[in-house]
Chains A and B, each alone.
Chain A
Amino acid sequence: MKINFEHKQAAHCENGVTTSLLQFNGIKKITEPLAFGIGAGLFFVHLPFVKINNGPAIAFRSMPGLIFKGTCKALGIPIERKKFSSKEKAEKILLERLEAGQPVGCQVGVYYLTYFPKEYRFHFNAHNLIVYGKEGDDYLVSDPIMETATKLTSYELERVRFAKGALAPRGQIYYPGKAPEITDEQIAVAIKKGIRKNIFYMLKIPGNVVGVKSIANTGKKIKKWREKLGLKTAGLYLAQLVRMQEEIGTGGGGFRYIYAAFLQEAYAFLPKPELLEISKMFTQSGDLWRTAAVQAAGIYKGRIGTQRDFDQMGDYLIEIAEVEKMAFKALANIKW
């Protein structure tokens, strides 16, 4: 059984799954940047006192599932979502949906994801892929990170759907329900909703754990890392920051570019010249994130490593926080 489904590659897994499933349901105008922006995907969080893989708990993305949920909700499309306690039932329902011709989004863990390179297989449980058929014992898989469609045996799929630990997927499947045709007007309204929500995430959440204040706060912390942790651990921390920032499925600098692309595409639906100007600010922020990553690499590769180098690294983040604050304030000031 094989659903007539076209695999598409994306920069980020959840954007990709959201875009492909919505396009399959007939909403052809949705692109990855539009899904990312409408789903308010730009984020930054640095949890104090918590460590992940022996390093700082920094993420450039919101909770898994929120981009899909936000995009569907803003467009007025119902969401079908199910978690399972039984593996048998999880497979049965998946097969039923496939039989009915519905490609299905699955949350999975990457540790046992066989087609991923070994170097990338950590216990990260918020990866997303689409299952669109079954041939013999193999499930047909469209993983947005991969250039081409791929396959998993029924055992391999079950193992990643029931990966355990933090954010355990518990066999979760999801897909958009049927919706009437979506007009350009509805997309324009959804874009505004997405922008407002992202302004809230990045500017309005109190405290300095989430948003632009958190970016600046991390910058301040980095300046103290050399003294507090020693050069070696400080280097490992910076390497973790860069991995969270630039690796597949997370994307910090990359996310800024997607957001910049989103604002350009938004202009086609809402011709406000400000959108194009603010898009450039996000490009600038993305470029700065990359410059900061190069600085961090200099430190963890041992090419540089004085206190001044750490100060410079911290200052990059403080500058980024300022650029993104101005950009979101400018978005908040648009008279729609």
Chain B
Amino acid sequence: MKKEDVPQDPGALGKVTKEVCYATDKDGKYTKALSSGWEVKINALDLAWEDIEERVKAAKQKVLNNEASPVLFFMERRLMDMTTIAAYTGFWRWQIKRHLKPGVFKKLSAKKIKHYAGAFNVSVEDFINMNVHED
């Protein structure tokens, strides 16, 4: 890539920092250049977030329909997969799978609920009621 071709499109990262990249000068020699962002990857990131928002919305609907527990909603909202949630809560995967069922969830001890709320970085009340605040 030539230095003059280094993309300078506005994106989320560009608000915080420019990125270093390596590009060639007029003699073909590599030098460092700064890029504020590239539309192609900004679009890719936007798409990833659109997908996450859809998943969060679908999870919320499932909880409202009594097909899943708030654990599913916060897993999606906190971008967690089974490995991550198991590591943060200390529960086994099979336990978490059970806790995703609304019937099982309702009988969970206050201690376990607190564990989940802690892992999702929300208060117990917000956890049970699926309240979200910008953070």
A-B contact pairs, 20 of them (CB 8 A): A9-B20, A10-B20, A11-B20, A11-B32, A53-B81, A117-B13, A117-B15, A120-B12, A147-B18, A165-B84, A166-B83, A166-B84, A243-B45, A246-B40, A257-B23, A260-B22, A264-B30, A283-B24, A293-B41, A296-B40
User: Which B residues are closer than 8 A to A by beta carbons?
Assistant: 1, 12-13, 15-24, 28-30, 32, 38-41, 43-45, 47-49, 51, 79-81, 83-84, 87-88
Q: How many residues of A contact B (CB 8 A)?
A: 52
Residue of chain A at shortest CB distance from B40? A297
Report the separation of the CA atoms of residues A260 and B16 in the bound assembly, to the nearest whole angstrom. Answer: 28
A294: chain B residues within 8 A (beta carbon): 40
A123 touches B84 (CB 8 A): yes
Residue of chain B at shortest CB distance from A54? B51
Interface SS of chain B: helix, strand, loop or mixed? mixed
Report the separation of the CA atoms of residues A32 and B15 in the bound assembly, to the nearest whole angstrom. Answer: 24
Report the separation of the CA atoms of residues A49 and B126 in the bound assembly, to the nearest whole angstrom. Answer: 36
Contact A239-B83, Cβ < 8 Å, known A11-B22, A254-B22: no
Report the separation of the CA atoms of residues A118 and B83 in the bound assembly, to the nearest whole angstrom. Answer: 22
With beta carbons under 8 angstroms apart, the residue of A11, A146, A239, A300 that contacts B21 is A11
A sample of 8 more A-B contacts (CB under 8 A), given A147-B18, A286-B1, is A119-B12, A145-B17, A164-B84, A165-B80, A166-B83, A297-B39, A297-B43, A300-B47
Which residue of A164, A166, A287, A294 has the most chain B CB atoms within 10 A of its CB atom? A164
B79: chain A residues within 8 A (beta carbon): 53, 111, 122-123
CB distance from A296 to the nearest CB of B (A): 8
A145 touches B1 (CB 8 A): no
List A residues 241-280 near B (Cβ within 8 Å).
242-243, 246-248, 253-254, 257-258, 260-261, 264-265, 279-280
Which residue of B24, B32, B48, B80 has the most chain A CB atoms within 10 A of its CB atom? B48
B15: chain A residues within 8 A (beta carbon): 117
B40: chain A residues within 8 A (beta carbon): 242, 246, 290, 293-294, 296-297
Contact A119-B1, Cβ < 8 Å, known A33-B22, A145-B19, A246-B38: no
Residue of chain B at shortest CB distance from A117? B12
A120 touches B24 (CB 8 A): no
Report the separation of the CA atoms of residues A237 and B15 in the bound assembly, to the nearest whole angstrom. Answer: 27
CB distance from B88 to the nearest CB of A (A): 5
The verdict on A116 contacting chain B, using a C-beta distance below 8 Å, is yes
Report the separation of the CA atoms of residues A287 and B47 in the bound assembly, to the nearest whole angstrom. Answer: 23
B22 touches A117 (CB 8 A): no
CB distance from B104 to the nearest CB of A (A): 23
The verdict on A168 contacting chain B, using a C-beta distance below 8 Å, is yes
With beta carbons under 8 angstroms apart, the residue of A117, A118, A247, A290 that contacts B1 is A290
User: Which A residues are closer than 8 A to B by beta carbons?
Assistant: 9-11, 32-33, 53-54, 111, 115-120, 122-123, 145-147, 164-166, 168, 235-236, 239-240, 242-243, 246-248, 253-254, 257-258, 260-261, 264-265, 279-280, 283, 286-287, 290, 293-294, 296-297, 300-301
Residue of chain B at shortest CB distance from A122? B79
A260 touches B30 (CB 8 A): yes
A300 touches B41 (CB 8 A): no
Report the separation of the CA atoms of residues A279 and B13 in the bound assembly, to the nearest whole angstrom. Answer: 29
With beta carbons under 8 angstroms apart, the residue of B23, B29, B51, B83 that contacts A165 is B83
A120: chain B residues within 8 A (beta carbon): 12-13, 45
Report the separation of the CA atoms of residues A5 and B46 in the bound assembly, to the nearest whole angstrom. Answer: 36
Residue of chain A at shortest CB distance from B11? A119
A168 touches B12 (CB 8 A): no
CB distance from B119 to the nearest CB of A (A): 9
Report the separation of the CA atoms of residues A131 and B63 in the bound assembly, to the nearest whole angstrom. Answer: 43
Report the separation of the CA atoms of residues A235 and B20 in the bound assembly, to the nearest whole angstrom. Answer: 28
A116: chain B residues within 8 A (beta carbon): 16
Report the separation of the CA atoms of residues A197 and B88 in the bound assembly, to the nearest whole angstrom. Answer: 36
Report the separation of the CA atoms of residues A297 and B13 in the bound assembly, to the nearest whole angstrom. Answer: 18
With beta carbons under 8 angstroms apart, the residue of A147, A246, A300 that contacts B17 is A147
Residue of chain B at shortest CB distance from A145? B17
Report the separation of the CA atoms of residues A32 and B19 in the bound assembly, to the nearest whole angstrom. Answer: 14
B23: chain A residues within 8 A (beta carbon): 257
CB distance from A118 to the nearest CB of B (A): 8
A123: chain B residues within 8 A (beta carbon): 79-81, 84
